[in-house]
Structure formats: structure tokens, C-alpha cells
Chain A
Amino acid sequence: MSILADIQISLIVLCSGLGLILIGLWGILTQRNIIRMIVGFSLLDTGIHMVMVSIGYVTGGTAPIINDAVPMAEAASRIVDPVPSALVLTAIVIGLGVTAVMLSFAVRMYRERRTLMIDEFTESKW
């Protein structure tokens, strides 16, 4: 228990997020299947969100919602930073939109060539 208590919670989230970024980037760079590349992008996206959330964490802080549990007077000393949370909320929605467009590209490309392998699409290769 004592070892666990020494580790900061946000550090765990930060490291997982950074790991996800690396895995996602690896997926985007090495995979030849378009769907796998999109999955890699989603992992990268999620990793970035986790890093952003972990940066907003304040030791011992709770959700930035003021109610019986967190009275208004104590708010500034007991909540985590609301700004990164708001940014991540925006980022998730944008990520969703980008993923949807990428998937529709994949559907369209499959329709044209009957394959999802990126090596088959040589027109824009230089």
C-alpha cells in the first residue's frame, strides 16, 4: 500500500496517455490497412486527452462541480482545474468529427478499389 500511496495518480494517467500517443503514432506510421491507421489515430487522440486531463489535476482535488460536497467557499482549494477539462471536452468532439470523416473516406476508397490497403492507392504517391 505504501508504494502505491507514493505514486501520484495523475502521473499514472500521464504515463498511460504518453504511452497511448506512442502506440497510436506507431500504428499510423507502420500499418498499411486504412482502418488500422484510423484506430491508431483514435489511440493518439485518446492519449492526448489523457495527458491534458492529468495536467489539470490538483492533488486531492475533486470534480469542479459545486454542490453539497464542495461548498462554494471552499471551491478554489478543493477542485481540479476546470480549464483542461473543458478543452478536452472540445477535443473529444473534434476527434469524433475527424474520425467520422476518415471512416467515410475509407468507405469511399473501398468502394472505388475494393481494398483497404494503402499501397494500392498510388496516385498521390511521390
Chain B
Amino acid sequence: MIKRIIILLVLAMLAAIFLDLAANYSEKTSLSPLGHYYAEQGPAEIGAANLVTAVVVTYRGLDTLGEVTVLFISAAGVGLMLRRTRRKDDDEDLEKGDRAEETAGTHKPASEIVETATELLLPMVMLFGIYVFLNGHLSPGGGFQGGAIIASGTMFLLLALPESHISRLMIAMTESLSGFSYVVIGVLGVLLAGGFLDNRIMGLGTYGSLFSAGAIPLIYVFVGLKVGFELSAVLDRFRKEDTGPL
């Protein structure tokens, strides 16, 4: 009981702070100085039509590298947590439960409609994901969004065809190569242009065309592949018990 009262008290105090915040809030009528700088100088400096992309990939590129690292660590953590250790000397009870879990895992197959729809739609979903990360510098979207769409395609596949095999080795290779290339591009920025992850190692190109904004499309391709495969690996981990190393 006393716990409940404390919780309510904490929430009430927080609500009071929030109420004050909301009551004194007034919409901004102009950009903050930093936002103003990005809006004025961004197109000329970076050459990306999507200013959010310019901020994410170039101005705050180091943050994005950190973000990719966090995602990688969390994917590795999920892999570690869900690894099925072969416990020989375990409780009979737990073993029995595990077996029940496994038989529950091999549920009845998806309906024919779902399977056919998956075969039809899966290539399109994947293609859309690639489209989203290739056009990240021009339109809403980018590497993370495109990667999430690719992972949703994987989800689709796992729901419709639960027995389908996803090569862990292929996922690991693509993921590490993309991550490595991303860092290499960043280092090239130090050597050839203004600093780490500077996108001007390549020509800025025609503003607003697909091959523009220097290295941003390249970086987003690597980020998209990395995120897509990483999230696919996470989904695969949640599907069922570990089937082997890698």
C-alpha cells in the first residue's frame, strides 16, 4: 500500500512539472541559431536535399557511428542472451519444459494465402527498403528506415515460412563488411576532406539528383545493409533456439 502511495506521489510530482512545462510552452516562430545555420549553409556545404540526413550523416556523423555501434552491441547482446547452451546435467523438469517449448515452436504452417502473398510481396518489400536507403539524401527516409523495412521483410518471411533457413554466416559477413566500409569512408574523410565522415570525398554532383551529396548515398547504403541484416539477425534469434554457431 505504501508503495502505491509513493508511486502515485512520484507521478503526481512529475505531472506537476510537466503541467508547468506545457502551460508555459509557446510555439517557436523561427529556427534556433543552429537549425538556421543548417538550413542556410547545409545545401551548399553538404549537397543533401534532406536536411535531416545532412545533420545525421555528416554534421553529427560521429553520433550516427555511435548509434550503429549501440545497435550492433544490442544485436550481439540478444545473440548472447538467446544462445541455447546445451545443458546436459540440467533439471529433468526444465528439459521437459524446453521440449514442450520446442514442439510449440513447430506450429502449423501458415495458410496458402499468406505463403503466396509472401512470395509475391517479399521482393517488393526488399526493393522498397533499398529504394528508401538509396534516396535517403533526397526524400524522407535513410539507412535506418530502409534497414527497418528490410528487416520487416525478413519478419514477413519468418511468419509465412517459419522453417526457412537464414544463413547466419551471410548475415555476419554482410554486417561486418558494411560496418567496416562505413568506418573506412569516415577515415577517408580525414585523409581527403575536412574531417572524420566528411562527405566531400566525392564530388557533390547535381543538387537533388540521385548521385549527389558526395558520400552520403554510399554511407547510407552501408548503414542500410548493416541495420537491415542486424535486425534480421535479431528477429531470427527470437524465432527459435540456436541451431548452431554463428
Contacts and interface: CB of A to CB of B under 8 A. Distances in A.
Nearest to B38: A82
A105 interface: yes
A57 B28 contact: yes
A101 B140 contact: no
B18 A104 contact: no
Interface stretch (B76-84, B123-131, B153-161): B76-84
Contacts of B28: 57-59, 81
Interface in B192-246: 208, 227, 231, 234, 237-238
B7 A86 contact: no
Contact of B75 (A92, A94, A100): A100
B170 interface: no
A105 B97 contact: no
Given A82-B52, A89-B56, A18 B21 contact: yes
A8 B22 CA distance: 11
B82 A108 contact: yes
A104 B238 contact: yes
Interface residues of B, number: 60
Interface residues of A, number: 49
Interface in A19-67: 21-22, 25-26, 29-30, 56-59, 63-67
Contact of A83 (B35, B70, B94, B142): B35
Interface string B12-35: 001100100110011111111011
Contacts of B173: none
Interface string A85-115: 1100110111011101101110110010010
Contacts, number: 149
Interface string A60-85: 00011111000010011101011101
A67 B212 CA distance: 14
A102 B10 CA distance: 24
B63 interface: yes
A13 to B, nearest CB: 11
A59 B75 contact: no
B133 interface: no
B55 A100 contact: no
B39 interface: yes
A26 B42 CA distance: 42
A86 B35 CA distance: 11
A82 B39 contact: yes
Interface string B165-209: 000000000000000000000000000000000000000000010
Q: Give the 6 A-B CB pairs with smallest separation, nearest first.
A: A97-B74, A81-B35, A104-B81, A64-B51, A86-B55, A76-B39
9 contacts: A25-B14, A30-B7, A75-B39, A76-B39, A81-B32, A81-B35, A85-B55, A89-B142, A94-B71
Interface of A: 8-11, 14-15, 18, 21-22, 25-26, 29-30, 56-59, 63-67, 72, 75-77, 79, 81-83, 85-86, 89-90, 92-94, 96-98, 100-101, 103-105, 107-108, 111, 114
Given A21-B18, A83-B38, A100-B75, 6 more contacts: A9-B27, A57-B28, A67-B208, A82-B55, A83-B32, A104-B238
